[in-house]
Amino acid sequence: MPPQGARGVFRRITAFYARLLEILLVATVAIIIVPVTMQVVARFADWLPRYIWTEELARFLLVWMIMIGSMIGVREATHFNVDLFFNLRGRTRAAMDILAALFVLGFAYVFIVYGWEFTDTAWFRISELAELPLWTIHIAWPIAGVTWVIFAGERIWDDLQILLHGEKADH
């Protein structure tokens, strides 16, 4: 068991990272409104040109919005979790949560390994319309996978403490 100090520092770092992700999620939602609105208005108004880059920027932002949302969801145990047995408490609940977290780790492995391969194909390519570097969208997959490992690991630690010490575990 790591010392309380190191665990406390880790918790503060992950809390800060989660807060940063929440801010980035709000930013992506706010920013995506601009290109999507431009696309919609341009279809009905002759005074606004039909920019092609707006569609690509909206797609990039949508991917990041989904990935960031999934990262936050894993931390809050609201993503990849289906609460079929909502009456479970204590050690039984902790065991089921660990099982769910192991599946998250499996998905994280796929996202890290194959996401990195996916990103590796994009280092020196740019998008055709907005001329954005493609790695900036591809890197979302391995970042999501690593973040899932961190947040799922945090939850597994808490659940292991409940399994070992019962509901009153210090976590």
Task: Answer whether residue 53 shows pLDDT above 50.
Answer: yes
Alpha carbon distances (Å) from 15 to 8, 84, 90, 142: 10, 28, 24, 20
Domain spans, the chain: 4-165
Q: Report the length, in residues, of the chain.
A: 171
Residue 85's pLDDT band, with cuts at 50, 70 and 90, is: low
Query: Which of the two residues, 27 and 52, has the higher pLDDT score?
Result: 27
pLDDT, average across residues 51-74: 93
Task: Answer whether residue 170 shows pLDDT above 60.
Answer: no
Three-state SS annotation for 47-106: CCCCCCHHHHHHHHHHHHHHHHHHHHHHHCCCCCCCCCCCCCCHHHHHHHHHHHHHHHHH
Residue 123: per-residue pLDDT: 93
Instruction: Give pTM, 2 decimals.
Output: 0.85
Alpha carbon distances (Å) from 156 to 20, 74, 96, 141: 22, 12, 10, 22
pLDDT, average across residues 94-101: 89
pLDDT digit string, tens, across residues 121-156: 999 999 887 788 999 999 999 999 999 999 999 999
pLDDT digit string, tens, across residues 20-41: 999 999 999 999 999 999 989 9
Query: Quick one: angle between helices 4-44 and 53-75, nearest 10?
Result: 150
pLDDT, average across residues 158-170: 80
Q: What is the dihedral of CA 98, 103, 105, 109, to 10 degrees?
A: 170
